[in-house]
Amino acid sequence: MLLNAQVQLGNLDYAIMIIYVLFVLGIGWTLRRYMKTSKDFFQSGQSIPTWITGLAFMSANLGALELVGMAACGAKYGIATSHFYWIGAIPAMVFLAVFMMPFYYGSKARSVPEYLKLRFDERVRCLNSISFAVMTVFASGISMNALAKLLNQLLGWNYHFGLWICSGVVLVYVLKGGLTSAIYTEVLQFFMIVLGFAPVVYLGLQDAGGWGSIKTQLTQVASHPAALNLADDASKTFGANAWTSAWQPLLAGPANNPMGVDWFAMVFGLGFVLSFGYWCTNFLVVQRAMAAKNMNSARNTPLVASVPKMILPILVIVPGMIAVALMSMPNKDYRLPQAQIDSSKYPALTAIVQQAAGNPPTDAAALKTLVEKLNKAGDVGFNSAKVAELIKTSDAAQLPAKLQDAVANDYDGVILSLVKRYCPMGLLGLALTALLASFMSGMAGNVTAFNTVWTYDLYQAYMAKDKSDAHYMWMGRFITIVGILLSIACAYFARMYNNAMDIIQLVFGFVNAPLFATFLLGMFWSRTTGTGAFVGLLGGISTSALVHGMTLAEGKGGWLGVHLYNFPSTMAQNFWLASFAFIACFVLTAVISLSTAQKKTNDELKGLVYSMTPRLTDTGVAWYLRPAFLGTILLIGCVILNIIFF
Amino acid sequence: MGLDLRIPIGLMFSLVGILLAVYGFMTKANTEIYKRSLDININLVWGLFLLVFGVIMLVFAMKSAKQSKPDQQ
């Protein structure tokens, strides 16, 4: 998230920021009276109204990194990014509401790992809770590092000051109000984001001449994406609708869409395995639904969340598309953000370019070597299509400008570049507070999920079994402080070892990929045994690691030294890897379950498995509030959206 | 949980809305600072919108507090 120029905040901007902080602290302070038992602290006393749990459910995932990342994808891939929403999130959320929530909420489990313990055994819970606990700490560390960096680059705040102050605010309100605080501030953050970014998107749309004009511009961009550094190969062209249609470029094959993904990987890998795996099993989001006041409310939570989720692409993906359209209009004087080359690097870069000009690279491998040399000398990333062009320049005076133009786009800066372009003092404060809010509520969400899993699934399960409720409450508060300190440590770690962080996130990807197979079999097939689930999970995790180790994509993977296949993009690799992991886990779990004895009796499985649980009758609930009805409406809405943007 | 979330949401957005609108009104004659927002006095317009949103939230909160006073936990 590199930003070239700082912005000047006025008193009004700071006032808005301070008002927000005071309100979240005030919410935490007011809620402290209601934190009497550990159930209040970890589960909000299961008393939260549906609209709040629903908005929090969606908002827990709408962290700042999601905002920044989706705008980046909007610029890189166009409207196809909406697949993350319309075939990814929504069907998974409907499935969770209609089919899975009855078992989570009905089983009286207090967390997702605890459900696994009830359904399978300690081993499965242990594997899930430890990996989840570590993952939440890292996720919150990564996001806090991004926040502190952003405050440093944008506002000139000291990195350490920004990191500790923001963490301190989160610490205070989570300590005071527990999960309720986190949920309430997530809802507040949701409104901040919508109301803070909507005017920016509106102004961007106006500036670019409306949606029709943006589509026309993107059609031109698609015919020569390398002109805007959107492709690495100067001769690359896409079909006219590559940025503006969600399905046609996908169906035309990986070479015809900027994502480089085939439709099967998209539908099965992303739409089924990854999305269902995230939305239906990740305790961070499921915890919100489990805090609802009754079964119907818990089931409706993901459905309430689906409504804003469905229209969110306007707020998060469209800005990226606006940015690309603006850049292709010369009179708008806009450029996708880039890292700036330090002026002291030019002599070294010029020398490399002049040397290459005498001996131009003849094939892709030689060009790649040249680009890597330039990257090292300039301490930035270069776009290879522009570099290939650049070495033909004979005029040395033009070289610095051409070199700067050849720097790869910093897509993560898109959203902020628009905020800076359109916001006067006042609105600027609102938009930046919205961003700050989403970073902080992201941390709070991770910390509350972490303290619950730690206290119930690790501490109570393995260290201190029969202590008083007050003791677990104390532990929850104590581990909240520890969790925040660990997050801060992770933020520093992420700041220093960027590459190590990439590897850690990769490993989490391996761990999460097969999870949904375990839940699917566990909930809907009573024959699934603990051993089957445990071995299946391990098998799925190793499968995804193996696939990653034996395939290549954009130079990534292949660390086993065997290259069986070359994926057109890392995204395709990621989707396929998840698909293989899911299938391996599914098959292994099924086969081993059939050959091992079921240790759980039918009575123990009641409320945990579909066939052993009495059908839920939605009597007493108006037909239009029943999950099955609402879910159907939402799915129809998704189909319509997919048809409109086909 | 005892606190009706609509109250803090309503209060906060009303407050921010008033601040933006007042500032927007004071800078009405200043075309320079609104060049970037395409010559729209976005602070005034959006401030008023936020105020309306905030007030609606408060009205709903007050209504439900009146209705369910006896059985409120």
Query: Does any CB of chain B come closer than 8 Å to the CB of residue A430?
Result: yes
Q: Which residues of A481-510 are buried (b: 16+ CB within 10 A; e: fewer)?
A: ebbbebbbebbbbbbeeeeebeebebbbbb
Question: Given this model, what pLDDT does residue A93 score?
Answer: 95
Tell me how far the alpha carbon of residue A312 is from its chain's centroid.
Answer: 14
Q: Where do we find the tokens 């290879």?
A: A384
| Mean of all residue pLDDT scores within chain B | 88
For residue A134, what pLDDT band results from cuts at 50, 70 and 90?
A: very high
B71 falls within a domain:
no
B73 falls within a domain:
no
Average pLDDT over residues A115-129: 92
B35 falls within a domain:
yes
Smallest CA–CA distance from B21 into chain A, residue: A426
Q: Tell me whether residue A590 is exposed, middle or buried, using C-beta atoms within 10 angstroms of its C-beta: 0 to 12, 13 to 18, 19 or more.
A: middle
For residue B73, what pLDDT band results from cuts at 50, 70 and 90?
A: very low
B70 falls within a domain:
no
Q: A540 with A134: CB under 8 angstroms?
A: no
Query: Does any CB of chain A come closer than 8 Å to the CB of residue B30?
Result: no
For residue A3, what pLDDT band results from cuts at 50, 70 and 90?
A: very low
Selection from A337, A349, A415, A398 nearest residue A376 by Cα: A349
Q: B19 with A12: CB under 8 angstroms?
A: yes
Query: Does any CB of chain A come closer than 8 Å to the CB of residue B25?
Result: no
- Flag the least confident range among A204-208, A451-455, A545-549, A599-603: A599-603
Q: Tell me whether residue A596 is exposed, middle or buried, using C-beta atoms within 10 angstroms of its C-beta: 0 to 12, 13 to 18, 19 or more.
A: middle
Question: Given this model, what pLDDT does residue B72 score?
Answer: 44
Predicted TM-score (pTM) of the model is 0.91
What is the span of the domain harbouring residue B25?
Answer: 6-65
B36 falls within a domain:
yes
Asked if B20's CB is within 8 angstroms of A44's CB, the reply is no
Instruction: Walk me through the domains of chain A, giving residue ranges and CATH numbers.
Output: 11-328+415-496+616-644 (1.20.1730.10), 343-408 (no CATH), 499-614 (no CATH)
Selection from A334, A79, A72 nearest residue A219 by Cα: A79
Q: At what angle do helices A50-59 and A283-290 cross, to 10 degrees?
A: 170
B28 falls within a domain:
yes
Chain A neighbors of B34, CB-CB under 8 A: 424
Query: Does any CB of chain A come closer than 8 Å to the CB of residue B34?
Result: yes
For residue A5, what pLDDT band results from cuts at 50, 70 and 90?
A: low
Question: Given this model, what pLDDT does residue A466 score?
Answer: 85
| Mean of all residue pLDDT scores within chain A | 89
For residue A380, what pLDDT band results from cuts at 50, 70 and 90?
A: confident
Chain A neighbors of B47, CB-CB under 8 A: 426
Distances (CA, A) of B30 to A11, A82, A235, A440: 17, 40, 48, 35
Cα A538 to Cα A532: distance, rounded to the nearest angstrom: 10
Asked if A12's CB is within 8 angstroms of B23's CB, the reply is yes
Cα A478 to Cα A486: distance, rounded to the nearest angstrom: 12
**pLDDT surpasses 80 at A526:** yes
Q: Where do we find the tokens 């960027």?
A: A498
Q: How far is B40 from chain A (nearest CA, A)?
A: 9
B72 falls within a domain:
no
Question: Given this model, what pLDDT does residue B69 score?
Answer: 61
In chain B, the number of structural domains is: 1
